[in-house]
């Protein structure tokens, strides 16, 4: 009877046997574990190196993004010019306020503003009754003093002659001689008082101290004149020759000479040029503006130019060194002075002090401070500092990026 419960029935007479099961060696188990450990260590090291590399890249990228992005370009060489223009202040040759020297009432004035007067011309008259009466009294006192002095002199002369014959005493003679000396001194004192009051009376008439034009009249008929009030009666300016003052940059201070002819132009006289002469300089540089004050005299006998106006002074002088043209936006205004930012060592900011020449609003002429190889920062940020790291772009690359 067959046993159906056996899943693998074997024939009773079969000579085949099942394959022999060999045990796994411990050596192979150790090798596999070491391999797995090595793989784990390599994976861990790769992960650590990847994270470290990512951190370095992130730090570098963060630093790059923190640096300001600027555009740098070389300055444009400027053509050598022998002329530059500076503003000039026009003043009168002589400018003087006219004050009263005596008290009284203004009885009449003779010239108004714009009137041209000669030296010594009568401008106004002042009534001074108090001074007139004081002068009359002083003259009377002078006459009295002269009479007394004359009498004392006669008596002294008479006694001096008699004392030689012992007809009078020496003491009486000395007394009369001293009296004559005292009365003579009184005469001189009275005469000085009369001269003083006559001088004050002469100030009743106000005269022009020089030839010029009346530019202000501040009084009218009947007004009380008080010399202590400090109120000017007239203002007078001599305009036959005008003085023009200009501030010359320090870099040109050695190029101007006394006697040089300077061209002047005025906005109110378009197309016309006036010729002046440089007559003097301050011979000192102003430490606040680093400029030299110069005076140019111009003939104005025709009366075409007005004091107080603004002139354009055309100086002709060679530049002190190479001249470059940069956009006005490149200028940096700092407390230390005018600066221009340039790129050094590839990506480091350097602030260079510069001296400007002509300025047309859009572009500025740099006469000192830049060289041909400098890379000037265009439109520098206000926060730019010395030694700051920069991300520098060329103008061409910026334009291409903008086009995309």
- Which long-range contacts does 110-116 make (Cβ < 8 Å, 24+ apart)? 111/214, 111/217, 111/234, 112/214, 112/217, 113/214, 113/215, 113/216, 113/217, 114/213, 114/214, 114/215, 115/213, 115/214, 116/211, 116/212, 116/213, 116/214
Give the model's pLDDT for residue 62.
56
Q: For residue 309, give the nearest of 220, 244, 251, 259 by alpha carbon.
A: 244
**How many other CB atoms sit within 10 Å of the CB of residue 337?**
11
Residue 32: both structure tokens together: 């596999």
Question: Torsion over CA of 114, 120, 121 and 122, rounded to 10 degrees?
Answer: 120
What is the sign of the dihedral through the CA atoms of 382, 383, 387 and 392?
Answer: negative
Q: What is 129-202's CATH number, 1.10.287.470, 3.30.465.10, 2.30.60.10, 2.60.120.330?
A: 1.10.287.470
- 24: Cβ contacts below 8 Å, ≥ 6 apart: none
| Yes or no: domain 84-91+244-305 corresponds to CATH 1.10.4080.10 | no
Domain spans of the chain, in order of start: 69-81+321-403, 84-91+244-305, 129-202
pLDDT in tens, the chain (404 residues): 444 444 444 544 444 444 455 554 556 666 766 777 777 777 777 777 777 776 666 655 555 556 788 888 888 887 665 578 899 999 999 999 999 988 899 999 999 999 999 999 999 999 988 888 999 999 999 999 999 889 888 888 888 888 777 777 888 888 888 988 999 999 999 999 999 999 888 889 999 999 999 999 999 999 999 887 788 999 999 999 999 999 999 888 888 889 999 999 999 999 999 999 999 999 999 999 999 999 999 999 999 999 999 999 998 876 556 888 899 999 998 888 889 999 998 889 999 999 887 777 888 888 888 888 899 999 898 888 888 888 888 776 544 445 44
Please, what sign has the CA dihedral across residues 300, 303, 307, 308? negative
Residue pair 357/365 in contact by the 8 Å Cβ criterion: yes
- What sign has the CA pseudo-torsion 316, 321, 326, 331? negative
* Whole-number pLDDT of residue 404: 46
**pLDDT the model gives residue 81:** 55
How far is CA 277 from its chain centroid?
A: 24
pTM: 0.55
Q: Give whole-number Cα distances, 214 to 111, 118, 209, 239, in Å.
A: 7, 11, 12, 10
Q: What is the pLDDT of residue 121?
A: 95
Q: How many whole angstroms separate alpha carbon 375 and alpha carbon 377?
A: 7
Q: What is the pLDDT of residue 45?
A: 75
Architecture of the domain spanning 69-81+321-403: Beta Barrel (2.40)
Question: Residue by residue, what is the 3-state secondary structure of the chain?
Answer: CCCCCCCCCCCCCCCCCCCCCCCCCHHHHHHHHHHHHHHHHHHHHHHHHHHHHHHHHHHHHHHHHHCCEEEEECCEECCCCCCEEEEEEEEEEEEEEECCCCCEEEEEECCCCCCEECCCCEEEEEECHHHHHHHHHHHHHHHHHHHHHHHHHHHHHHHHHHHHHCCCCHHHHHHHHHHHHHHHHHHHHHHHHHHHHHHHHHCCEEECCCCEEEEEECCCCCCEECHHHCCCCEEEEEEEEEEEEEEEEHHHCCCCCCCCEEEEECCCCCCCEEEEEEEEEEEEEECCCCEEEEEEEEECCCCCCCCCCEEEEEECCCCCCCCEEEEHHHEEEECCEEEEEEEECCCEEEEEECEEEEECCCEEEEEECCCCCCCEEECCCCCCCCCCECEEECHHHHHHHHHC
What is the rounded distance in angstroms from the CA atom of residue 76 to the CA atom of residue 248? 25
């Amino acid at each position: 009877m067959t046993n159906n419960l056996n899943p693998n029935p074997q024939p009773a007479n079969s000579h085949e046997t099942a394959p022999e099961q060999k045990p796994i060696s411990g050596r192979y188990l150790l090798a596999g574990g070491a391999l797995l450990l090595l793989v784990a260590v390599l994976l861990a090291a790769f992960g650590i190196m990847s994270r470290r590399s990512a951190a370095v890249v992130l730090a570098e990228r963060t630093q790059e993004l923190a640096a300001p992005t600027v555009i740098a370009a070389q300055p444009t060489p400027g053509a050598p010019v022998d002329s530059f223009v500076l503003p000039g202040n026009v003043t009168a040759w002589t400018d003087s306020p006219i004050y009263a020297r005596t008290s009284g009432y203004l009885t009449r004035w003779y010239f108004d503003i714009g009137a041209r007067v000669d030296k010594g011309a009568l401008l106004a008259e002042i009534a001074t009754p108090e001074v007139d009466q004081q002068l009359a009294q002083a003259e009377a006192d002078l006459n009295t003093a002269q009479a007394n002095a004359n009498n004392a002199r006669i008596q002294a002369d008479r006694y001096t002659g008699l004392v030689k014959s012992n007809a009078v005493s020496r003491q009486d003679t000395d007394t009369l001689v001293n009296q004559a000396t005292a009365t003579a001194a009184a005469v001189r004192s009275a005469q000085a008082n009369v001269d003083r009051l006559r001088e004050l009376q002469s100030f009743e008439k106000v005269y022009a101290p020089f030839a010029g034009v009346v530019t202000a009249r501040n009084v009218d008929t009947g007004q009380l004149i008080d010399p202590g009030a400090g109120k000017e009666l007239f203002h007078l300016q001599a305009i036959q020759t005008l003085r023009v003052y200009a501030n010359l940059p320090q870099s040109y201070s050695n190029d101007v000479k006394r006697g040089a002819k300077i061209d002047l132009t005025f906005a109110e006289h378009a197309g016309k040029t006036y010729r002046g002469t440089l007559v003097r300089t301050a011979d000192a540089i102003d430490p606040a503006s680093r400029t030299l004050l110069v005076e140019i005299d111009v003939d104005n006998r025709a009366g075409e130019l007005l004091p107080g106006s603004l002139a354009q002074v055309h100086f002709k002088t060679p530049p002190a060194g190479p001249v470059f043209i940069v956009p006005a936006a490149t200028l940096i205004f700092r407390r230390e002075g005018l600066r221009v930012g340039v790129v050094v060592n590839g990506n480091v900011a350097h602030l260079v002090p510069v001296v400007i020449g002509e300025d047309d609003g859009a572009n500025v002429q740099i006469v000192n401070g830049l060289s041909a190889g400098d890379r000037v920062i265009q439109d520098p940020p206000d926060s730019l500092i010395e030694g700051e790291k920069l991300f520098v772009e060329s103008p061409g690359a910026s334009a291409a990026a903008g086009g995309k």
